[in-house]
């Protein structure tokens, strides 16, 4: 594992190349859908925590990439972390940047530059992330990972994996100007860490960017969640 430590006043970044520090599960990916720049590369961002209690911003790219640099801006101050352009960051694992004392309401802007691993094409992706209201430290509680597979009738099935046990009221699905709603019963528990089929669609093509908004309650304490997860068709 390659580590690079960058110190600033009040902020500590630790860049972890090719190592998923998400030992406690992904957090709530607030700020998804706010990517700009190269349309072929987007990033999911959330706060995670390892077993020692260290907090990180965790970034999951839509495709395998090589990171040159991450510039993080907060309150008109910019902090930079260099990556390793010879190391591939997979879309499955992503990478993490250590952060100290994130606070609710903080509006971060991350400018991520690098190369697409598949074709060595340069990219710059700008991602906005707001620490959610009510955040009180530690990892955020709910996230949904999205994947896809061929459907039985020639379409594409979308799958989801919650980070914790959840009950789903509904899922709003969007792709461009098209939208759909998948209703849940609000009582059935979907176990964290397991894959479930959400819905199947026709006309799905490589490069399309889909958005899924999950609404429901956590199974453990009936806490409401509203989580957005983006997915780019490979």
3 state SS of 123: strand
Please say whether the beta carbons of 108 and 129 come within 8 A: yes
Residues of the chain with CATH 2.60.40.10: 144-232
- Whole-number percent of the chain with pLDDT over 90: 35
Q: What distance in Å separates the CA atoms of residue 167 and residue 183, rounded to the nearest whole number?
A: 11
- Residue with the larger pLDDT of the pair 32 and 100: 100
Q: Report the C-alpha gap between 41 and 188 in whole angstroms.
A: 35
Q: How confident is the model at residue 135 (pLDDT cuts 50, 70, 90)?
A: low
Pick the residue with more confidence: 211 or 225? Answer: 211
35 CB-near residues (< 8 Å, 6+ apart): 41, 42, 43, 125, 126, 127, 230
Spatial distance between the Cα atoms of 39 and 42, rounded to a whole number of angstroms: 7
pLDDT at 229 over 50: yes
Predicted confidence (pLDDT) per residue in 110-127, tens digit = 999 999 999 999 999 999
Indicate the fold that domain 144-232 takes in CATH.
Immunoglobulin-like (2.60.40)
**What is the pLDDT at residue 131?**
81
Confidence of residue 56 (pLDDT cuts 50, 70, 90): confident
pLDDT at residue 180, rounded to an integer: 93
pLDDT tens digit sequence for 90-99: 888 888 888 8
Q: What is the pLDDT of residues 99-114, one digit of tens each?
A: 877 887 888 999 999 9
Q: CATH top-level class for 2-130? A: mainly beta
How many CB atoms are located within 10 Å of the residue 104 CB?
12
Going along 117-208, which residue ranges are E strands?
122-130, 144-150, 156-162, 166-175, 178-183, 189-190, 196-201
At 181-211, the pLDDT tens digits run 999 999 999 988 889 999 999 989 999 999 9
């Amino acid at each position: 594992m390659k580590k690079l430590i960058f110190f600033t006043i009040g902020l500590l970044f630790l860049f972890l190349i090719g190592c998923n520090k998400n030992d406690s599960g992904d957090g709530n990916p607030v700020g998804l859908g706010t990517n700009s720049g190269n349309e072929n590369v987007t990033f999911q961002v959330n706060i995670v925590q390892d077993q020692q209690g260290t907090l990180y911003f965790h970034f999951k790219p839509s495709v395998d990439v090589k990171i040159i640099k991450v510039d993080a801006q907060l309150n008109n101050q910019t902090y930079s972390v260099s990556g390793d352009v010879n190391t591939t960051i997979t879309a499955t694992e992503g990478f993490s940047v250590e952060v100290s004392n994130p606070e609710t309401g903080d509006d971060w802007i991350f400018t991520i530059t690098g190369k697409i691993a598949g074709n060595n094409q340069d990219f710059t992706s700008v991602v906005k992330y707001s620490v959610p209201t009510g955040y009180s430290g530690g990892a955020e509680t709910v996230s949904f990972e999205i994947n896809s597979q061929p459907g039985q009738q020639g379409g594409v099935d979308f799958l989801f994996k919650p980070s914790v046990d959840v009950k789903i009221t509904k899922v709003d699905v969007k792709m461009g100007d098209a939208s759909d709603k998948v209703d849940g019963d609000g009582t059935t528990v979907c176990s964290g860490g397991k894959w479930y089929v959400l819905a199947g669609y026709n006309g799905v093509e490589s490069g399309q960017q889909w958005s899924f908004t999950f609404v429901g309650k956590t199974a453990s304490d009936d806490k409401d969640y509203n989580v957005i997860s983006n997915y780019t068709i490979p």
